[in-house]
């Protein structure tokens, strides 16, 4: 198995800080950077390095279980709604007070903390004074005002946006043709795991073409909007096939390892993580499609053929992308956006 930190691309400074911290970690770390910058992969690698006797060897069962999301002493806390709720903050406090199951340390990874909102005060005391066996690894896309006080209690590690060139270079080292690597890297949003997924995705090019053709298909009719939204959603579902194949291989590998070592895999934890991965894959694909659509309208804007209409369309796409943070009904969100795009083209 490779070094767990190999999954983190283009973040040498952050990785060096986490490697150094793994031997003698403090109570809380805040990993801040844009979506796709590798924070989740870094958090998993950091957790493995803290729990593994060899500081993240990548070969032992501890590393395998941490990276698979099934280690009992590493808990990934995901929000259930548009923001982190006070009740979820209380649950985090309860988890933080529990003793480790297998070792002398447990790690709580708190995701999407830029959406902490009104739950921040309820979490402050828990994070600044956790039990001696608990380490918090907090992930945030940015630092909102609600997070400033909590951030002051943490070691802050910054992640920058990963360039397409960095992702493409990794893919080329993996043996991917340079032209394919560059095209996939552009669609990956700096996320190497997503890039590797897209390399094996036979439907990738077709989905990009479908999104790029949206402006030419809109004709001002509601039936066209409904049909196009259905086509786009169906294409997004296609990205799950390679995800499911990879997940099935992971289950098989962990089962085999558990049999060799006389243990067992926590299947419910693994199934929960796989569902979250599928959800993120769908959201990543939706964001990537919106990016392709934005490029189509920017190209139209650059030609000057329909400047005001394209500017309005770009604003509608931006608002749709922002609305994804609120866990909307995706089909209805797409339909509403397509109606606005259709209306702007009639202006």
- Give the rounded distance of the alpha carbon of 243 from its chain centre: 14
pLDDT at 156 over 90: yes
- Give the rounded distance of the alpha carbon of 209 from its chain centre: 24
Closest among 174, 156, 210 to 2, alpha carbons compared: 174
- Under DSSP, is residue 25 helix (H, G, I), strand (E, B) or coil? coil
Give the whole-angstrom CA distance, residue 180 versus residue 276.
28
pLDDT at 206 over 60: yes
8 Å CB contact between 247 and 277: yes
Yes or no: domain 4-158 corresponds to CATH 3.90.230.10: no
Give the whole-angstrom CA distance, residue 316 versus residue 185.
25
Total Cβ atoms within 10 A of residue 182: 17
pLDDT in tens, 16-75: 999 999 989 999 999 999 887 889 999 999 999 999 988 888 888 899 889 888 899 999
pTM score: 0.71
Laid out side by side, the sheet with 134-140 consists of: 74-77, 106-110, 134-140, 28-32, 155-158
pLDDT in tens, 167-192: 999 899 989 999 999 988 888 877 77
What residue spans define the domains of the chain?
Answer: 4-158, 200-345
- Give the rounded distance of the alpha carbon of 102 from its chain centre: 28
What six digits make up the tokens of 154? 């943490």
Task: Give me the pLDDT at residue 176, please.
Answer: 93
pLDDT at 225 over 60: yes
pLDDT at 1 over 60: no
Task: Give me the pLDDT at residue 83, please.
Answer: 72
What six digits make up the tokens of 198? 């897209």
Give the whole-angstrom CA distance, residue 250 versus residue 307.
49
Does the CA dihedral 152-161-330-204 come out positive or negative? Answer: negative
pLDDT in tens, 240-284: 888 888 888 878 877 776 676 566 666 777 787 788 788 888 888
Give the whole-angstrom CA distance, residue 248 versus residue 261.
20
Give the whole-angstrom CA distance, residue 6 versus residue 15.
10
Task: Give me the pLDDT at residue 78, please.
Answer: 81
The mean pLDDT of 307-335, rounded to a whole number, is: 86
User: Cα separations (Å) of 206 from 120, 198, 203, 231, 246?
Assistant: 43, 12, 5, 12, 21
**Measured at the alpha carbon of residue 339, what is the angle toward residues 333 and 345, in degrees to the nearest 5?**
140
What six digits make up the tokens of 338? 């397509």
The mean pLDDT of 284-313, rounded to a whole number, is: 83
Give the whole-angstrom CA distance, residue 143 versus residue 150.
10
User: Cα separations (Å) of 188 from 127, 319, 340?
Assistant: 33, 21, 27
Helix (H) or strand (E) holding 245: helix 240-261
Task: Give me the pLDDT at residue 260, please.
Answer: 66
């Amino acid at each position: 198995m490779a070094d767990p930190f190999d999954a983190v691309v283009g973040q040498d400074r952050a990785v060096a800080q986490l490697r150094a911290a793994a031997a003698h970690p403090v109570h809380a770390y805040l990993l801040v950077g844009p979506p796709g910058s590798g924070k989740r992969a870094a958090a998993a690698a950091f957790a493995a390095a803290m729990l593994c006797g060899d500081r993240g060897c990548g070969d032992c069962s501890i590393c395998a279980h941490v990276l698979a999301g099934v280690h009992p002493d590493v808990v990934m806390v995901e929000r259930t709604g548009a923001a982190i709720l006070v009740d979820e903050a209380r649950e985090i406090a309860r988890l933080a007070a529990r003793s480790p199951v297998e070792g002398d340390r447990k790690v709580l990874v708190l995701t999407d903390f830029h959406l902490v909102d009104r739950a921040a005060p309820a979490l402050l005391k828990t994070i600044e004074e956790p039990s001696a066996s608990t380490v918090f690894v907090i992930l945030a896309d940015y630092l909102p005002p609600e997070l400033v006080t909590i951030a002051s209690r943490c070691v802050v590690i910054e992640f920058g946006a990963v360039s397409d060139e960095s992702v493409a270079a990794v893919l080329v080292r993996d043996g991917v043709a340079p032209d394919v690597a560059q095209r996939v890297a552009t669609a990956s949003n700096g996320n190497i795991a997503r890039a590797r997924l897209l390399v094996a995705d036979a439907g990738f090019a077709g989905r990009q073409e479908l999104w790029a053709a949206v402006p030419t298909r809109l004709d001002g009719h509601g039936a066209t909007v409904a049909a196009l939204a259905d086509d786009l959603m169906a294409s997004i579902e296609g990205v799950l096939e390679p995800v499911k194949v990879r997940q099935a291989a992971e289950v098989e590998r962990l089962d085999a390892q558990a049999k060799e070592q006389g243990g067992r895999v926590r299947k419910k934890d693994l199934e929960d993580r796989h569902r979250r991965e599928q959800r993120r894959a769908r959201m990543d694909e939706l964001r990537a499609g919106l990016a392709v659509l934005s490029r189509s309208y920017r190209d139209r804007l650059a030609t000057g053929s329909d400047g005001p209409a394209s500017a309005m369309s770009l604003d509608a796409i931006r608002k749709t992308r922002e609305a994804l943070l609120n866990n909307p009904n995706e089909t209805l969100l797409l339909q509403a956006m397509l109606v606005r795009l259709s209306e702007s083209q009639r202006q």
